[in-house]
Structure 1
């Protein structure tokens, strides 16, 4: 690889092209407009006012940060559907001078599900892939099978109030779509989730038939309440569960582990993920067939080792403030 080119993990991922131009992905650097894959909080820095991203990601981030964020472009950057959440994009970068192409996946899923199209891999010389579930034990069942299991549970608990925990942006919307096709009576969401629903429906052909939950709301048997995952341990949520003798469930790829429900204090867990599982990560690598692979997040070391020792790729896990291959 050209010695003038580098890939670094700093505040986000920084790529230095052969021209010296720097591009920062899902992070921040002074005087640079960041390229943002999606609107989850760990991928964008507070106070950002302009991003290279999909219009929907800019709109969702504006709501989450409570100020206007402008969507712009970069001639070196092409955005592709990532299949993670609404508005998410994988990022293709073309170095015009060296003609080297980069593919930064951001968080992604190759599965078509609900209102999302899965990520369709493209050719690239250098692949930078997330590896949240980069170990073989994290292989997920088909989404239709999981949805069927969830619906069976929703029907079996019709004489109960159920509380479903999922990320406010992404999982919460998918849970609402599942609930809309189920036997449950009324679906409720918090204002935080409802505000994101409104943005998504203005950009996508999808509806979320949920009502806003408030402290004045009376939950009845057969009702369902969708809450952000991070609220599950809050005192008022625990009081709400106790008041209604509600049954709780969480939805995540981590539900593969039996310990998931115990760590979260839940009654049920379902393997519903917005990421690639292990086998899908491998499939993407084989489809892209890059000359160099960088892994980050989750089981990055384990996945890079597998790619290098078992599949013959040049692969390295990105580490903070390391860059070219000579630094590894």
Structure 2
């Protein structure tokens, strides 16, 4: 009996076969010969672990002893959750991983590049018969805590397509930053609602620039935000921020930076994110990712022959392929190519 799911799989395979016709044969062969899919078992079944370039796992769920595991940055959805093995990352990202030794001697054909996004975030660049850029999460803006991502020419780009649809267009960053600081000044007592790592530390650099030395005494950080800020205390100090001087009293501090652990209902709540958040009275679009136009700008400078979207809204790869006239696959399509479809089609 043919079910709706079976029809969906069949349709996906037909679409993938059509897309593959537009990809250069040497690119397909390079993927087939150099990339594999890794799994890990538990008591009842096996689970997808990630893809690997030769012996380098790209952001796996679990570390493995016979692989080097690339970890792009310290957000929880990118950190390995188990296993044992060596980690390829920045030293800052490694502080958060709590697993495995940090690789000191990086293979000669591999380079870690700044990714923007959050402190310690890196992209992976591979020089081989074809060159490969794996972005992880990235952004083209920098702060006093991290350097912006810079495009690098690559035949294949594995792309963070979080905002991979034309509707995602952000305001000019410096103007939005100015409006955020003006709102904090105007309302005097505010909750600033955001994530735990990356965004709150970046906001602290804005406050340091705006208010100057000693501003920390009027800022309270929720427990989880303070913990992660403390872990990168050396970077914060280099930006002129004293992690030991933040207010210990949430009622007395004018600015409370929180991730919902503590939210004072008597204050105006300001949300800061690339996605609109309903919890706030006012929202400011300051993202740690690139909007759609930023993705196009980045890819034009990379000049890839194939784009693989790692995550993002459905159809991201079609949007980018259409607007850049470059072949593109979703990550799931790449998985299909590396398993069921690769040998019959090449």
* TM-score (normalizing by structure 2): 0.76
SS at match of 1:323: helix
Among 52, 60, 81, which residue is 1:15 paired with?
52
Per the alignment, in what secondary structure is the counterpart of residue 197 of structure 2? Answer: coil
**SS of residue in 2 equivalent to 1:273:** coil
The 2-side partners of 1:79 and 1:218 are apart by: 40
**Which one of 153, 165, 180 corresponds to residue 135 of structure 1?**
165
Is the contact between residue 63 and residue 85 of structure 2 (CA under 8 Å) also seen in structure 1? Answer: no
Compared CA separation, residues 188 and 311, structure 1 to 2 (3 A): same
Q: 1:179 aligns with which of 200, 207, 220?
A: 207
Structure 1 distance, partners of 2:269, 2:123, is 33
RMSD of the TM alignment (CA)? 2.7
Matched, 1:293 2:311: no
Deviation at 1:253, TM superposition (A): 0.7
Are residues 1:227 and 2:258 paired? yes
Structure 2 CA distance for aligned equivalents of residues 142 and 101 of structure 1: 32
Contact 2:85 2:101 in 1 (8 A): yes
Q: Could you give the per-residue CA deviations for residues 186-242 of structure 1, whole angstroms, max 9, x where no partner exists? A: 01113432333233242572233464565xx2523x6111113xxx2x5xx35xx23
Q: Does the CA contact (< 8 Å) of 2:126 and 2:132 recur in 1?
A: yes
Within the candidate set 188, 213, 222, 1:190 is matched to 222
Of the three residues 191, 198, 206, the one matched with 2:239 is 206
* Cα deviations by residue, 1:274-306 (Å, 9 ceiling, x for unpaired): 11111010111111111111002112x422112
Match of 2:292 in 1: 278
Distance 2:296 2:318 in 1: 12
Q: Secondary structure at the match of 2:69?
A: coil
Q: Deviations over 1:54-74 (max 9, x none)?
A: 111112334xxxx67534444
Q: Distance in 2 between matches of 1:107 and 1:142?
A: 20
Q: Is 1:302 the equivalent of 2:315? A: yes
TM-score (norm 1): 0.80
Structure 2 SS opposite 1:313: coil
Q: Given the alignment of the two structures, is residue 84 of structure 1 paired with residue 117 of structure 2, yes or no?
A: yes
Q: Which protein has the larger Cα radius of gyration, Structure 1 or Structure 2?
A: 2
Unaligned regions of 5+ residues in structure 2, if any?
Answer: 1-27, 40-47
Instruction: Quote the Cα distance in structure 2 between the aligned partners of 1:247 and 1:178.
Output: 19
Larger relative contact order (CA 8 Å, sep ≥ 6): 1
2:283 equivalent among 265, 269, 293: 269
Distance 1:310 1:171 in 2: 30
Count the aligned residue pairs: 294
Change in CA separation of 1:8 and 1:323 when aligned onto 2, cut-off 3 Å: farther
Structure 1 gap segments, 5+ residues each: none
Q: How does 1:1-328 map to 2 (within 5 A)?
A: 1-2=28-29, 3-6=32-35, 11=48, 13-16=50-53, 21-27=54-60, 28=62, 30-31=64-65, 32-47=67-82, 50-62=86-98, 70-75=102-107, 76-95=109-128, 99-158=129-188, 161-182=189-210, 186-203=218-235, 205-209=238-242, 211-212=245-246, 217-220=249-252, 223-228=254-259, 232=260, 237-238=262-263, 241-242=264-265, 245-255=266-276, 260=277, 262=278, 265-299=279-313, 301-319=314-332, 321-324=335-338, 326=341
